[in-house]
Every structure is written in structure tokens, then in C-alpha cells.
A and B are shown apart, each in its own frame.
Chain A
């Protein structure tokens, strides 16, 4: 709250005066709010909109880019694997066509064929000839599988319907993961045989790990039940179940998004490898893929936040400054208006006073002379001269005339000093004149007034009219602050370096610290209900400054207030 009080602009304190001649030109708070709101709106709105559009667009295109890239890699991988398999299949087909069944049943011939195949193609581990009963009749390779009976195995059962077959990866008799490619060849007599070869899955694995995959990517094969066929980096070992659903059959390479076990988004690219039980799967972690984007995003958002902060700061600063300047100008306008009115009022009062005084002075002078003549005649003729009653009456008339003349002279003096002029002043005289206006009120309210003029107070150059106003204002305020039986002290002294120091002290109601800070502000008044304009002290302050002096105040709530006016011996040059 106290920080707010410190930074609170002047216009915020303004009490809205919406009617009368002294109303403000504008509602400053509303102008300020409108300015801040509108400028914020027209600057921030486009910025935020453009940034968010750009943000979404960039994010979407980066995502799309990643999807496309993954799809491309998937398609390539599908083709490579498919090619790998069909290449080997074609090689076996060639072998069964190029050799007679008798040749293939010869172990030496089969051995030489295996050697040639190994030389020409990667991955062939062994070769076996299975006859139409399912019996392995000839075998060359590292394992001793000659004479094995395959008649009960699923693949063999499918042989009559298929020209060839590609097995899933399995352990088989060898207890090593491998896959089998078999080619059926029907003999002219209707019997058939199958040339089988185990293919080392190592080649497969090498093929799959060879694809360049970013974002914690993983590429492997599964069978149609979702059992993993080749080693994976993050998704389990061979023969484990893949943690995601098996993709629906599609001729093409498909891509979809899913959530993994920890709730992170993943991109799953899948492709059914034709003529095989395999499905190629490429899984990428979306968060990992988008990592570079997130870094860019932080910079983008950071820049936005900084921009908004700077813009808001500037808007607030500029609006506050402008509105406050307007407020101060308006304040100046109002106070000038008041001062002009005040000066006009004083001038009118002055003219009126002078007019009245003049009109009264002439008849008064006649009364004075006539009564004087009566007295002259009385004092010359013995018979009247001894009549003390008559002489007393005439004296009373003369005394009353003198009283009237004192009043009219004071009025004239007041009127005379409304125009500004520097003259030689005795401070005591000015104070006595001012108190002369107020002594009746002091009497009525039983306020004791004490004037203490120090010794050796020099005369000084100043403006009598302004001095009268200054002291009249201060003493009027003091009177207003005091209740019946109050006490007003006026002390005048001379300080060598400062000039004339007049201290006016009352024992009235006093002011709090907070009030003290505001008394010179125009329109600050505690007497608004009693018709105060809140301008007296503000004008007084201005007048003291015009005379090159200084005004200080000290006050204690409930104890009283003391104003000290310090005036230089010579007024400042204009």
C-alpha cells in the first residue's frame, strides 16, 4: 500500500469535480484507463495473434515434416526387406529349376550350391531338401538336421497350396533365432519337394538398424500376432509381445500416433511386408523428435513475454506521464482561474472600500469642521466655555469623527495596496493593520492576541498589499482553528542572513502529518463545508515566493500550529 502511495500518479488522487465553474476538463482516471486499454489492445492483440498463428503453423509443419520423414523411411525399409526376401527366394527358385532332383539329393552337389549361394548372397546358413512326405532327405549346413521329419509342422502343411513360404522367426531345432525360406518344386510325376534354407536373422537386424532414425527411433519386425521378430532398442526382446496394438492390414505404409505406457506421444509407422508374415514397425518418440522445436519454442515464448512486458511498461509509463501532464495543466488552469477570481474579488472589494471611504470622508470632514468651529466658539465665549456638558458633547462628536476617519483611512489604505508596488515597509505597521481588521472578531470570541515586535527590526522593501494578504490569510486560518478563549502570538525578529522572520502561533486544533503535507496544494481544504476553497494557503505560498521569501509550518494535532514567514530585506528582481 505504501509503495502504491509512492508511485501513485497525481491525477489518481484527484477528486472528481464534475459540476460548477471549477470542474475538470476530463475524467483523468477514465482517460488513463482508456489509453492503457486501447493501446494495449492494438499493440498486444496483433502481436499475440500473429505469434500464436506462427507458433501453431511452425509446430504443425515440424510435426508433418517428421511424419513424412518417418513414412519415407518406413517405405524404404519395407522395400529393402521385401527385396532382401524376394532376392533370396528367387535364388532358391533358380536353384530348383537349374538342377535336377537327383542332383539336389546329392550332398556334394547341394554343398557346392550352398557354397555358391553364400558367395553370391548374404545370409544363407544351410540348405535342405524335404520330400513330399515331409522328410528331410538331404541337408548341408552347420547343424545336423538330416532325416528330420517336418510333416507335422505348420509350414509343411501349407506347402501344397503355396509355391513358396517364408517363416516367422523361430528357434526351431537349433535354438537360435532364424527364419526359413522354402521353395516348392513339383515334379512331372506329380510329386514335389521343397528346397529350404535357413536365413541368418543377423542380416535382417543389420538391415533394420541401418536406417537413420532420429528421436529415440526404433525399427523392428513383428509377426501378425505382434510378437517381436528382430532385436529392438526400447521395446523388448525377440519373441516378446510389442507393447502396442498390431496395425490393421494395409497395402501401404501407414502412420499413426499413440500414447506409450508413460503417456508420451509416439509415432508408429507400420508396413506389411508382402508375401511374408512380417510387419515392419518404426516407433519414434514424439517428444524426442520435437525437442529442437521445444527449445525454439522457449525462445519464442520468452521473446513474446519480454516484448509484452516492455510494451506494457512503455504503455503504462507513457499513458501515466501524458495523463498526469494533462492533469497538471488542468490543475494549473483551475488554480489560475481561482487566483484570477480571487484577485478580482479583492480588487472589487478594494474599489468598493475606496468608494465608500471617499464618499464618507467629505461629509465627515464637514462634520469635523462644523463641530470644531462650535468648539472654537465655545472656548472663546465665556458663557459657553464654562458649560462642560456642551464642550463634552462637542468633544464626543469630534471623537466619533476621528473614529470614523480611522476606519475610512484603513479602508483607503487597504484599497491603495491592491495594486502591486514595492515600497519601504515597517512590518509592525502591516501586522497592526491586518489585526485591525480582525480585532472585533478576536474580541467577540475572546481570543487574546499578542504581538511581540523584536528590537532593531529594520524597514525593508516589499509589497504592502501582498504582505497584508499573506498575514491576513495566515491569521484568518489561525482564528478558524481556534475555539473561544484561544491565544494568538505574533513574534517578529530579524535574522542577519535571512531577513525579517515573522512567526504566527496559535493554540488551535493543529494538523496531522498527512494534512501538513497537503496544505499548500490548491483545493486542499478542511473547511469545504464552511465555504473554504482550499486556496488560501496555496495563494499565500505563491505570494511569499513572489516576495522572495519562505514559509514554514509546524503543527501538532490538538496543540496548535505555527507558521513562520521569512522575508528578505530586498525583493527579488523580476
Chain B
């Protein structure tokens, strides 16, 4: 499984990427939506784990662009927010997890998403 992590919290995203790599996943990460788009242009990802709120372009907007370009890509949202809008948007057709998240739960969700 080829995974793209996008989160503006660098500390978070690097560590999560490392942990996923330790578990044998092919992981790349970006801290900005624009970087993520570049990465997505260079590699074919099975799934993208997106932070809902990022400076500049947010997760939801990023997903729209990625979905258009790569229809097969799956998405999981991570957020520290619990706002109603986020929850509704995230829960429709995509996984939605509130930080902090247990890595095993995340892996499970990713597997669920890619199996479908």
C-alpha cells in the first residue's frame, strides 16, 4: 500500500510516517497541500491521509483536486477539530478520525478503505 500523509504539524507527520514505514508501508509525507500535489504527480498513491485544517488549502479542498486527478485514490481524514461541518463532510464516503489516533486503528481504517 502506497500512502500519502499530509499534515501541517511536521513533528506529527514525520513521526507517523516513520512509524508506518517501520510497519512496512510505503509512505511519503507533505506539510503543505501544494507539496502534496507535487508528490501525487510523481507517484501513484493508493490512499491519502489528510489533515482537515491546514494553512492555505485545507484537506477537503485537497481531496477534491486529488479525487479529480486520481479517481482511484482513497481518503482518510485526521483532525483535531470536532466541528459539525468537518464531521459531516468527513463521514460521507471517507474515514474520519480525531487526533490523537491509535496507529492500529489508522491502519485498520486504511485497509478498510482500500479494500472497498
> Could you list which residues of chain A lie within 8 angstroms of chain B, going by C-beta atoms?
354, 357-359, 361-362, 364-370, 372-373, 376-377, 380, 401-402, 405, 409, 411-413, 415-416, 419, 421
Beta-carbon contact of B100 and A364 below 8 Å: yes
Judged by a CB distance under 8 angstroms, whether B69 is at the interface is: no
B46 to chain A, nearest CB (A): 21
Can you name 13 extra interface pairs (CB under 8 A) apart from A365-B101, A409-B98, A415-B82? A357-B82, A362-B9, A362-B12, A364-B99, A365-B99, A366-B15, A368-B100, A369-B15, A372-B19, A373-B15, A377-B22, A380-B22, A421-B84
Number of residues on chain B facing chain A (CB within 8 A):
22
Hey, which chain B residues are within 8 Å of A361, CB to CB? 80-81, 98-100
In the complex, what distance in Å separates the CA atom of A370 from the CA atom of B11?
8
Q: What residue in chain A is nearest B80 (Cβ atoms)?
A: A361
Hey, which chain A residues are within 8 Å of B18, CB to CB? 373
Beta-carbon contact of A354 and B16 below 8 Å: no
Hey, which chain A residues are within 8 Å of B68, CB to CB? none
Q: What residue in chain A is nearest B16 (Cβ atoms)?
A: A369
Beta-carbon contact of A412 and B100 below 8 Å: no
Contact sample, A vs B, 23 pairs, CB 8 Å cutoff: A354-B82, A354-B83, A358-B82, A361-B81, A365-B99, A366-B9, A366-B12, A369-B15, A370-B11, A372-B19, A372-B103, A373-B15, A373-B19, A373-B22, A376-B19, A380-B22, A401-B100, A402-B100, A412-B81, A415-B82, A416-B82, A416-B83, A419-B84
Q: What residue in chain B is nearest A401 (Cβ atoms)?
A: B100
Give the interface centre of B15, B16, B22, B78 by most chain A CB atoms within 10 Å: B15
Q: What residue in chain A is nearest B98 (Cβ atoms)?
A: A409
B25 to chain A, nearest CB (A): 13
Hey, which chain A residues are within 8 Å of B22, CB to CB? 373, 376-377, 380
Hey, which chain B residues are within 8 Å of A368, CB to CB? 99-102
List residues of B (20-61) whose CB comes within 8 Å of A's CBs. Answer: 22-23
Judged by a CB distance under 8 angstroms, whether B70 is at the interface is: no
In the complex, what distance in Å separates the CA atom of A373 from the CA atom of B22?
9
Hey, which chain A residues are within 8 Å of B83, CB to CB? 354, 415-416
Hey, which chain B residues are within 8 Å of A367, CB to CB? 100
Q: What residue in chain A is nearest B104 (Cβ atoms)?
A: A372
A265 to chain B, nearest CB (A): 95
Contact partner of B100 (CB less than 8 A), chosen from A365, A373, A376, is A365
Beta-carbon contact of A366 and B19 below 8 Å: no
In the complex, what distance in Å separates the CA atom of A218 from the CA atom of B86?
114
A167 to chain B, nearest CB (A): 129
B6 to chain A, nearest CB (A): 14
Beta-carbon contact of A416 and B84 below 8 Å: yes
Q: What residue in chain B is nearest A367 (Cβ atoms)?
A: B100
Given A361-B99, A364-B99, A365-B9, A370 and B15 contact (CB-CB distance below 8 Å): yes
Hey, which chain B residues are within 8 Å of A376, CB to CB? 19, 22-23
Shortest Cβ-Cβ A-B pairs, 7 listed: A412-B82, A361-B80, A368-B100, A365-B99, A369-B15, A365-B100, A364-B100
B52 to chain A, nearest CB (A): 11
Given A401-B100, A416-B87, A369 and B80 contact (CB-CB distance below 8 Å): no
B102 to chain A, nearest CB (A): 8
B87 to chain A, nearest CB (A): 6
In the complex, what distance in Å separates the CA atom of A411 from the CA atom of B78?
17
Give the interface centre of A405, A411, A416 by most chain B CB atoms within 10 Å: A416
In the complex, what distance in Å separates the CA atom of A368 from the CA atom of B103?
9
Contact partner of A412 (CB less than 8 A), chosen from B19, B98, B101, is B98
Hey, which chain B residues are within 8 Å of A377, CB to CB? 22
List residues of B (98-116) whose CB comes within 8 Å of A's CBs. Answer: 98-103
A356 to chain B, nearest CB (A): 11
Beta-carbon contact of A409 and B19 below 8 Å: no
Beta-carbon contact of B19 and A369 below 8 Å: yes
Beta-carbon contact of A358 and B103 below 8 Å: no
In the complex, what distance in Å separates the CA atom of A367 from the CA atom of B15?
10
In the complex, what distance in Å separates the CA atom of A368 from the CA atom of B101?
8
B42 to chain A, nearest CB (A): 25
